[in-house]
Structure 1
Amino acid sequence: MSVVGTICQNSFQWKIPNFFDLNVNRGDCIKSPQFTLIGKEGIQKMFHLDLYPKGDEDADWVEIYLIPDDSLNSCTVSYKMGILGKEENLIIQIIQLKDYTFLEQNDGWGSRKFVKIQKLKSQHDIVLPNGTLTVLFESEGVQDKPKDPTMSLVDDLEKLSTNDDFTDIEIHCKDIKIKSHKAILGSRSSVFKAMFTNQCKESQTGCVKIDNMEPKVLKDLISFIYSGKVKKLEENVADLFIVADMYMIESLTDVCGTYMMNNLTNENAISYLILADSHNCKMLKEAAMDYIVQNIADFMEKPEMKKVSHELVMDIMKGVVKQNNK
């Protein structure tokens, strides 16, 4: 059973008994117990080590990686790793890394060539006393990496979308009301911009009435306008695609179109094809068409095919003929 023991703050030993008798194959990974790295101002982050006793990419080498177990929001770690020998002295210092930045959970870093397996075998009396491999990990601690200024701006704008401060327009959609900012809506959508200029009633009344979409879709639309992000896009991607096109927000149209294109199934390909055709989205139309052509046997008896226009059906048939002639 492997054990991690603390020597002092940010210094750990990982003991792996019976190292050469481990029941592992090439590509198999063993994980150390978790340990904590502590930085200045009390910052603490949980990590573990992943080790490949018989290698992964190269069967001649043991591989090792430091893996974060916390949600990091970007942090920087300096560390070194080595192997302790018979007299508890450092036999091999394998890795020394300065200021590596972990960007997200499970983003690991280490060495594909930690130590050569043949070297462990030839020096096993010194390097593996009693068959135990001891990895020494030492770190200067962990530091939060300053947030990228662009991401800070995005986060601040996202917060603004749920804050009533300085709002100057109210959007009514069925049973909900959303307070917003003309400058932001108008800068992201030419349709909204037109509403707030040229003495339009929306600008004069300070109210926009929208009844042709569901409140959930409107909330996602406003969220994207402020932050450029959509949470749980899969829940209403087709509806968002329609309103993005309606309000001429090209970046959201692209996001939705790309998502649908990458998530085509037998259940949605026909509806996505019709949607793309009616909104002149070439990339989605071609992707959905190709998917249907490649799986034509699954679509011939589908009732939804009756909703496909004659022109699209002809295009599908041409694609099938072309495919069969290859």
Structure 2
Amino acid sequence: MGEVLKSSTFSSSPSDKMKWCLRVNPKGLDDESKDYLSLYLLLVSCPKSEVRAKFKFSLLNAKREETKAMESQRAYRFVQGKDWGFKKFIRRDFLLDETNGLLPDDKLTLFCEVSVVQDSVNISGHTNTNTLKVPECRLAEDLGNLWENTRFTDCSFFVRGQEFKAHKSVLAARSPVFNAMFEHEMEESKKNRVEINDVDPEVFKEMMRFIYTGKAPNLDKMADNLLAAADKYALERLKVMCEEALCSNLSVENVADTLVLADLHSAEQLKAQAIDFINSQATDIMETSGWKSMIQSHPHLVAEAFRALASAQCPQFGIPRKRLKQS
């Protein structure tokens, strides 16, 4: 926006071929910074292909003291003609206010300190490893994309009529059940086709997402059914994740059903937490339809709950409960 000013070039010494200058936009760089003075450090010339440098800008007041300093938080990559700086270095009205003493004799004095990272890149192209940044691991994302794009798949699952393509090697590595299925001369291994009728397609899809990525973003919506699937295919980590989600959602109305689920799928940590919850609110829970149904269908669980309640009232006969933990 508007006028652009440049300082004379400067360097660390007369023999230094690395030349710099300051670029000033008195009325800012764009609409966002129109009320500010923008200030940039420009690499005018350099014998190397690039250089990395930190910089610090400040103003000198009437007493020749540095004030309003701003500095880069890291070393920036400069090539010839490239600049870095701050488009909102200082508000123009603050700068022009005489009481602030930043324009003695109507002159603006800028102070710039440049710190070059030595040997960042030499002219032959060798790079100092200290300046490299290792990218984050994208294994989960890449495997997730591999599955979603169905590239190089070698088996198909038909879940209540819906087809899901997958990779035998990934499934075998993640699940001992799938490993046994594909390792032995089972019908599924020969035809590369697996029929599944006891899992909902959405639950199966979430389980497959976990197998490929280690994540289950929709777990809270289907923790009970996903727990059953995780148990069936021996996905222990997913199973405990489901247990944890169900524990955090225990209520007077659902605890009896949750206890039955935990018992059915050998979810011992969830079972212990459900029994503890029953002990804490036994009077209300015993009035629910879930509890009354459990008395008829799973009387052994009622007996376990009462034994735990008795142990809680007589601690000398009880066994301390373990806290829920993921393996």
TM-score category by the smaller chain? 0.5 to 0.7
Per the alignment, do residues 79 and 155 of structure 1 end up closer, same or farther by CA in structure 2, a change over 3 Å counting?
A: farther
Give how far 1:90 is off: 7.8
| Length-normalised TM-score, structure 2 | 0.55
Secondary structure of the structure 1 residue equivalent to 2:183: coil
Secondary structure of the structure 2 residue equivalent to 1:312: helix
Residues 195-210 of structure 1 mapped to structure 2, 5 A cutoff: 195-210=181-196
In the alignment, structure 1 residue 148 sits paired with structure 2 residue 120: no
Per the alignment, do residues 95 and 289 of structure 1 end up closer, same or farther by CA in structure 2, a change over 3 Å counting?
A: farther
Secondary structure of the structure 2 residue equivalent to 1:158: helix
Structure 1 letter corresponding to 2:209: S
1: CA distance between counterparts of 2:192 and 2:147? 17
Deviations 1:260-299 (A, max 9, x none): 1222122321111111112222111111111111111220
Match of 2:170 in 1: 184
More strand by share: 1
2: CA distance between counterparts of 1:146 and 1:160? 23
Residues 272-291 of structure 1 mapped to structure 2, 5 A cutoff: 272-291=258-277
1: CA distance between counterparts of 2:247 and 2:158? 32
Q: Is the 8 A contact 2:262 2:270 kept in 1?
A: yes
2: CA distance between counterparts of 1:240 and 1:284? 14
Match of 2:209 in 1: 223
Match of 1:133 in 2: none
2: CA distance between counterparts of 1:271 and 1:248? 22
Say which of 203, 211, 226 aligns to 1:240. 226
Give how far 1:230 is off: 0.9
Say which of 260, 278, 282 aligns to 2:246. 260
Give how far 1:322 is off: 4.5
Secondary structure of the structure 2 residue equivalent to 1:161: helix
Say which of 289, 303, 306 aligns to 1:314. 303
Give how far 1:254 is off: 1.3
Match of 1:270 in 2: 256
Structure 2 letter corresponding to 1:293: N
Per the alignment, do residues 281 and 161 of structure 1 end up closer, same or farther by CA in structure 2, a change over 3 Å counting?
A: same
| Length-normalised TM-score, structure 1 | 0.55
Give how far 1:92 is off: 8.7
User: Equivalent pairs: percent with the same residue?
Assistant: 30
Gap runs ≥5 in structure 2: 1-26, 34-53, 76-98, 101-132, 316-327
Structure 2 letter corresponding to 1:187: A
Structure 1 letter corresponding to 2:307: K
Secondary structure of the structure 1 residue equivalent to 2:164: strand
Give how far 1:304 is off: 0.9
Structure 2 letter corresponding to 1:316: A
Give how far 1:238 is off: 0.6
Structure 1 letter corresponding to 2:162: I
Q: RMSD between aligned alpha carbons?
A: 4.0
Secondary structure of the structure 2 residue equivalent to 1:265: coil
Residues 1-326 of structure 1 mapped to structure 2, 5 A cutoff: 147-149=135-137, 152-308=138-294, 309-324=298-313
Per the alignment, do residues 287 and 166 of structure 1 end up closer, same or farther by CA in structure 2, a change over 3 Å counting?
A: same
2: CA distance between counterparts of 1:291 and 1:188? 33
Give how far 1:311 is off: 2.5
Match of 1:37 in 2: none
Q: Is the 8 A contact 2:254 2:290 kept in 1?
A: no
Secondary structure of the structure 1 residue equivalent to 2:163: strand
Aligned length: 214
Give how far 1:301 is off: 0.8
* Greater shift in the superposed pair: 258-267 or 167-176: 258-267
Larger Rg: 1 or 2? 2
